[in-house]
Structure 1
Amino acid sequence: MTVSAAQRKSFPLVTAHTGCMETLDNTLESVRRGIELGADVIEEDVRVTRDGVAVLAHDDLWPAVGGEQIRISQMDFAELRKLEVEVDHAGKKGIISFRTLEEMLEIIKPSGKIANLDLKTDEAINAAAAVVDKLGMLEQVFLSGCEVDRAREAEQRQPKLRKLLNADVKLFTSIPYEQAVSQTCQDALETSCFGINIYHEFITPALLERAQALELPVYAWTVNDTKLMELYADMGVASITARNVEALVGLRMKRRQT
Structure 2
Amino acid sequence: MNIYAHRGNSGFFPENTMYAFKKSLDLDICGIELDVQKTKDGILVVHHDETLGRVFDGKGYIKKLTFDQLVDSNLNNDELISRDDCKIPTLEEVLELIKPTNLTINIEIKNNKVRYKGIEEDIINLVKNHNMEERVLISSFNYRSLKRIFRLDPTIKTAYLVGAFTFKHKSLKKVLKRCKECNCTYIHPSYDVVNKELVTEAHKKGISVQVYTVNSITIMKKLIKLKVDGVFTNYPKIINTIVNENL
Note whether the superposition's TM-score is higher than 0.5.
Answer: yes
Q: Which amino acid aligns with 2:100?
A: P
What is the CA–CA distance in structure 2 between the aligned matches of 1:195 and 1:39, rounded to whole Å?
A: 18
Deviation at residue 37 of structure 1 after TM alignment: 2.1
Deviation by residue 1:13-39 (Cα, 9 ceiling, x = unmatched):
111111523111110111122222222
Structure 1 residue matching 2:11: 3-state secondary structure: coil
Cα distance change, pair 252–61 in 1 and its aligned pair in 2 (3 A): same
1:152 aligned to 2:151?
Answer: no
Q: How does 1:72-151 map to 2 (within 5 A)?
A: 72-81=62-71, 83-87=72-76, 95=81, 96-121=86-111, 123=116, 124-151=119-146
Query: What is the number of residues matched between the two proteins?
Result: 237
The residue number in structure 2 matching 1:3 is: none
1:251 aligned to 2:242?
Answer: yes
The residue number in structure 1 matching 2:43 is: 53
Deviation at residue 148 of structure 1 after TM alignment: 1.9
The residue number in structure 2 matching 1:169 is: 164
Deviation at residue 218 of structure 1 after TM alignment: 0.6
Structure 1 residue matching 2:180: 3-state secondary structure: helix
The residue number in structure 2 matching 1:227 is: 218
What is the CA–CA distance in structure 2 between the aligned matches of 1:168 and 1:150, rounded to whole Å?
A: 17
On the 8 A contact 1:147/1:167 being kept in 2, the answer is no
On the 8 A contact 1:18/1:26 being kept in 2, the answer is yes
On the 8 A contact 2:35/2:107 being kept in 1, the answer is yes
What is the CA–CA distance in structure 2 between the aligned matches of 1:243 and 1:188, rounded to whole Å?
A: 26
The residue number in structure 2 matching 1:34 is: 24
Cα distance change, pair 59–204 in 1 and its aligned pair in 2 (3 A): same
**Which of 5, 28, 31 lines up with 1:16 in the alignment?**
5
Structure 2 residue matching 1:184: 3-state secondary structure: helix
Q: Which amino acid aligns with 1:182?
A: K
Deviation at residue 172 of structure 1 after TM alignment: 1.3
Q: Which amino acid aligns with 2:166?
A: L
Q: Which amino acid aligns with 2:11?
A: M
CA-based RMSD: 2.5
Cα distance change, pair 50–117 in 1 and its aligned pair in 2 (3 A): same
Cα distance change, pair 33–157 in 1 and its aligned pair in 2 (3 A): same
On the 8 A contact 2:221/2:246 being kept in 1, the answer is no
The structure that has the greater radius of gyration is 1
On the 8 A contact 2:3/2:240 being kept in 1, the answer is yes
**Unaligned 5+ runs, structure 2:** none
The residue number in structure 1 matching 2:206 is: 215
Structure 2 residue matching 1:50: 3-state secondary structure: coil
User: Comparing 146-155 with 52-61, which one deviates more in the overlay?
Assistant: 146-155
Instruction: State the identity %.
Output: 21
Q: Which amino acid aligns with 1:126?
A: E
Deviation at residue 160 of structure 1 after TM alignment: 3.5
